[in-house]
Amino acid sequence: MAKATTTIKQVLNYGPEHAAWFAANQTLFNQVCAFYFDVIQAHVKILDLSNKEALTALEKLTHITQRNPAPVMPLDEVAEDIPAMFRRAAINAALGSARSFFSHLARWQKAKEKAEAKGKKFHERPPVPPRTWNKSASLYAGMWKERSDSSIVLKVWTGTCWSWMKVRITGRELPIDAELGSPQLIRKGNQWYLHTPIERQFKSSGTIEKQVTTNKQTKICSVDLNINENIAVCTIRTVEGSILATTFIHGGQRVNGFRKKLLGRIARNRHKTGILAENEQDNVHLWNTIRHVDEQGAHLVSNRIVQFAKQHEATVLVFEHLGNLKPTKGKYSKRGNEKRAFWMKGRIFRYARYKAYHAGILTSRVNPRNTSRECARCHSLVARYAEGQPAEGYTYGAPLVACHQCGMRGNADRNASLVIGQRLTQRYQKQEKPPTPLLAKRERKGSGIGLPQDAKSRNRPSLQSARHGDSNEHGTAQETGMRMVEPVSDSAHQLRLPLE
């Protein structure tokens, strides 16, 4: 069984005076957090303990009881009558921050020592403990009661006393079968929300390696992400190689065009106003709109990818690694737009990964080298061209591909998504394969580029196929390639899908 956590976000409905209570409650929570962070800093050894032991130790250091009348650093000096569950939530929040801070500090010290040992100057600044605290208050059991779909009773610090208040809730209902975590009071702008983490258990089909090596019928959904019109092209394929379905997720041009328009507007506004004020965001509204479009686009696309995988009962989702953004020349709006389209690909991957995980689907990534240049059927180098042009050469970003080795013709993005899927299965088939003739030939030749890559690729079979793409001129690619994709019998036919 595997576990997945999601957060249910609900809107709280309250009178204007109660917003001040929530704010006072959060301020107090942060005061208590800051206090405990100081206590931990004064007793760093606490961090060697488990969270549970650390909690006990910290309470002993701070909390007055009959048995413990004179603690070292009494919490009462900061705030009196803190409910136990409020205190514990704050302690755990402080512990989290302290663990993160001290591990950063340790990493910094290590890097510093390493640099000094080599006689180098070390310029990096040390991490600093948080100067301001802006944590959201967690409501442990005892700080809330009588929860229903439409209301909850919360215990909050009003600024003068502790008080129970009943708040109406709207928004998503809590699922019945899930396990609830402690809700948190979250402020966004002027509105307060209740966020409740929920845990769900689902049946896991094992690691990707296990699925791919033990079940030839495991369905893999491979995804090629683009910055052109076809934002995502997904193909479902079994491990043995049958291609079951493909879908094109469109809309790239609309997002790109819209974003470019806004970026152009920002550039013109900046030109008009001249110097930009330091530490002040210009064109706030336009930037917000851009951010919103990117965010929403990434959610829509990732959602459709996972829906498609689910619909075809795929249990593995595979992308290519993003690689580096190659800066291009051009106007501010063009450069900025490409950068954002590239970031959006990263976002789509991250969102798809967590959405897939919730659906019991595992996600992996493969080497991106030449995924668009390789023929999915025979692994030779393909020609990439636009409709109406001769099928030769390689026009970056063109929609069609043709393979002169095996005669495959089809959509370039679909071909890339097939190659991505193949690389995942090749990764686990590696041990059974003798080195390809091509590899031997390369090693003998001792070509400058070939050797270091060969060395690197020992554990990464995905590079092998990538090299086949380069090797078209040797005329060996076809034999090696044919063997690798034997099972893909119908790919030539399948690849001839019309552009949707």
| Contacts with Zn ion, residue ranges (CB under 5 A) | 375, 377-378, 380, 403, 405-406, 408
Q: Which is nearer to Zn ion, 380 or 465 (CB)?
A: 380
Q: Which is nearer to Zn ion, 94 or 420 (CB)?
A: 420
CB of 401 to Zn ion, least distance (A): 9
At residue 478, the 3 state secondary structure works out as helix
With residue 364 as reference, give the H or E element that holds it: strand 362-366
179 — phi, psi (to 5°)?
-95, 125
Q: Which is nearer to Zn ion, 363 or 405 (CB)?
A: 405
CB of 421 to Zn ion, least distance (A): 16
Answer yes or no: are the C-beta atoms of 156 and 165 closer than 8 Å. Answer: yes
Q: Which amino acid is at 58?
A: L
Q: Which is nearer to Zn ion, 381 or 424 (CB)?
A: 381
Residues 6+ apart with CB under 8 A from 312: 219, 221, 236, 244, 245
At residue 145, the 3 state secondary structure works out as strand
Q: How many CA atoms lie within 13 A of 485 on its CB side?
A: 28
Answer yes or no: are the C-beta atoms of 218 and 212 closer than 8 Å. Answer: yes
CB of 184 to Zn ion, least distance (A): 55
With residue 199 as reference, give the H or E element that holds it: strand 191-202
Q: Which is nearer to Zn ion, 93 or 376 (CB)?
A: 376
Answer yes or no: are the C-beta atoms of 486 and 398 closer than 8 Å. Answer: no
CB of 419 to Zn ion, least distance (A): 11
CB of 374 to Zn ion, least distance (A): 9
Q: Which is nearer to Zn ion, 259 or 373 (CB)?
A: 373
**Residue 374 carries which DSSP code?**
B
Between CA 317 and CA 485, with CA 321 as vertex, the angle to 5 degrees is 60
Q: Which is nearer to Zn ion, 226 or 405 (CB)?
A: 405
CB of 491 to Zn ion, least distance (A): 9
Q: Single out the residue of 230, 215, 251 nearest to residue 415, CA to CA.
A: 230
CB of 397 to Zn ion, least distance (A): 20
At residue 235, the 3 state secondary structure works out as strand
Q: Which is nearer to Zn ion, 294 or 374 (CB)?
A: 374
CB of 2 to Zn ion, least distance (A): 39
Rounded to an integer, what distance in angstroms lies between the CA atom of residue 407 and that of residue 353?
Answer: 35
At residue 317, the 3 state secondary structure works out as strand
Q: Which is nearer to Zn ion, 263 or 406 (CB)?
A: 406
Answer yes or no: are the C-beta atoms of 162 and 6 closer than 8 Å. Answer: no
CB of 481 to Zn ion, least distance (A): 7
Rounded to an integer, what distance in angstroms lies between the CA atom of residue 197 and that of residue 468?
Answer: 48
CB of 407 to Zn ion, least distance (A): 7
At residue 499, the 3 state secondary structure works out as coil
In DSSP terms, 153 is beta-bridged to 145, 166
Q: Which is nearer to Zn ion, 451 or 497 (CB)?
A: 497
Answer yes or no: are the C-beta atoms of 112 and 118 closer than 8 Å. Answer: no
Residue 377: CB atoms within 10 Å: 28
